[in-house]
Amino acid sequence: MHLLINGRFLSRPLSGVDRTAQELIRALVAQQPGRPLQIDCAVPRDAPEDATIRQRLTLPATSRIHRSSWRGYAFEQIALARIAPQAMLLSLCNIGPVARQRQLILIHDAQVHDAPESYTPAFRAAYALLQPRLARRARHVATVSDHSRRRLLANGIGRPGSIAVIANGVDHLDRVASDHSIIGRLRLEAQSYVLALTHPAPHKNLALLHRVYRTGDPSLPPLVLAGPRSNEPGDDRIRYTGRISDGELKALYAGARMFLFPSLTEGFGFPALEAMTCGCPVIAARAGAIPEVVGDAAILLDPHNADSWLSAIIALSQDAPARDALTRAGRQRATRFTWDRAARQVLDLLGAGATAASDPASCRQSVPA
């Protein structure tokens, strides 16, 4: 089987969607000893040097890297459509060349439709133009949760029975060494704080946590927000980390009394599983794919009800046995999500050929129960 990776994502800073592509490719490469795979990669002109790409994706010496003189949408829609046409193109970051039918397109979510305020008009227009056409033309279409599958179909992307569900893994954190020095730099003590991630998109719902902390309730532990400072009004018990490394984030997860994840919608929900992997209890929104991913291993709340979040944070903060129970359940839940499992599902889907396109049961592999 000859696979060609759409490497446009390699030319930009790593996002959650890009991490999926990176880890899935690494897992596919790891399948090679037992499967006859040739995995090549096509990249735009602004991608890193070949040696960096090989190291990042663990590509073997037998893998060819096709470097285009184009970049951006021009690379993806024009140049990429013509590179190694006999290969199965893997476009793992929502968009691929519409002209190419021999392709697996991984569309992570329908957020551009469900939370349009989080995206620019140009971004929304590009996705509205390209994704429905891609879903009609590509030989294989996949997404990362059953929630995303349903929302894509509801927004006219794909046909019933045509979208496979291939859940993300979370075991990439096993390779990351925790950098505990960040605890001291932030003048924190282990188990003394709660943690959340910052993000400028409105659907991430960080405003809810600011409402909770503006109550001034003295029972609330300090809140650490990992990432750049937002435009929300300040609070002396909210601390921003600024940009941090994966090792620093892993240490913050492990040291937190709990992790808060209030998003209004998510196509999957990496952060909740990352926290669980690190033994951190999770309070999350009952929204999007989050309940599907975390199962009964987290406390789920209405993402619009600040009072319920205030009560739950205080109650869990004061209940060590409840935190221990969530820690055990979360660790167990997270072990079900591996990149090896995802890679094997991708290869099974590609091997199914025409059957996968016509049999709904073959396309609805669910998130691990």
Phi, psi of 82 (to 5 degrees): -105, -5
Give how many domains the chain has, as a whole number. 2
Report whether 182 contacts 252 (CB < 8 A): yes
What would the two tokens of residue 68 be?
């285009």
293 within some domain: yes
Rounded to an integer, what distance in angstroms lies between the CA atom of residue 317 and that of residue 239?
18
366 within some domain: no
Residue 358: the pLDDT is 36
Rounded to an integer, what distance in angstroms lies between the CA atom of residue 153 and that of residue 248?
38
pLDDT band at 303 (very low <50, low <70, confident <90, very high): very high
pLDDT, one tens digit per residue, over 133-152 is 999 999 999 999 999 999 99
Rounded to an integer, what distance in angstroms lies between the CA atom of residue 269 and that of residue 266?
6
Closest CA to 154 of 114, 108, 98: 114
46 within some domain: yes
- CA 349, distance to chain mean position in Å, is 20
Residue 229: the pLDDT is 80
Residue 34: the pLDDT is 79
Residue 234: the pLDDT is 62
Residue 353: pLDDT over 60: no
117 within some domain: yes
pLDDT band at 86 (very low <50, low <70, confident <90, very high): very high
Both 210 and 278 in a single domain?
A: yes
pLDDT band at 237 (very low <50, low <70, confident <90, very high): confident
pLDDT, one tens digit per residue, over 49-73 is 999 999 999 999 999 999 999 999 9
**Domain extent at residue 225:** 174-334
Angle in degrees, 0-180, between the axes of helices 16-30 and 339-352, rounded to the nearest 10: 70
Both 153 and 215 in a single domain?
A: no
Both 134 and 207 in a single domain?
A: no
pLDDT band at 228 (very low <50, low <70, confident <90, very high): confident
Mean per-residue pLDDT, 329-352 = 95
Residue 269: pLDDT over 90: yes
Q: How far is CA 254 from CA 190, 258, 282, in A?
A: 8, 9, 12
Residue 357: the pLDDT is 38
Both 274 and 142 in a single domain?
A: no
Both 127 and 254 in a single domain?
A: no
CA angle 169, 173, 174 (to 5 degrees): 105
Both 141 and 216 in a single domain?
A: no
Rounded to an integer, what distance in angstroms lies between the CA atom of residue 79 and that of residue 44?
9
218 within some domain: yes
Mean per-residue pLDDT, 285-310 = 98
Closest CA to 14 of 262, 277, 335, 270: 270
367 within some domain: no
Both 133 and 58 in a single domain?
A: yes
Residue 251: pLDDT over 90: yes
What would the two tokens of residue 218 be?
């003295």
Mean per-residue pLDDT, 123-130 = 96
CATH of residue 290's domain is 3.40.50.2000
Residue 369: pLDDT over 80: no
Both 145 and 164 in a single domain?
A: yes
What are the residues facing 5 on neighbouring strands? 41, 90
Phi, psi of 101 (to 5 degrees): -85, -35
Side-chain half-sphere CA neighbours of 150 within 13 A? 9
Rounded to an integer, what distance in angstroms lies between the CA atom of residue 365 and that of residue 164?
6
369 within some domain: no
pTM attached to this predicted model: 0.93
Residue 176: the pLDDT is 96
Residue 365: pLDDT over 60: no
Both 146 and 204 in a single domain?
A: no
Residue 313: the pLDDT is 98
Both 113 and 204 in a single domain?
A: no
Residue 236: the pLDDT is 76
Both 251 and 275 in a single domain?
A: yes
Chain-wide mean pLDDT for the chain? 93
What would the two tokens of residue 279 be?
């033994």
Rounded to an integer, what distance in angstroms lies between the CA atom of residue 74 and that of residue 80?
9
56 within some domain: yes
Mean per-residue pLDDT, 111-123 = 96
Both 116 and 225 in a single domain?
A: no
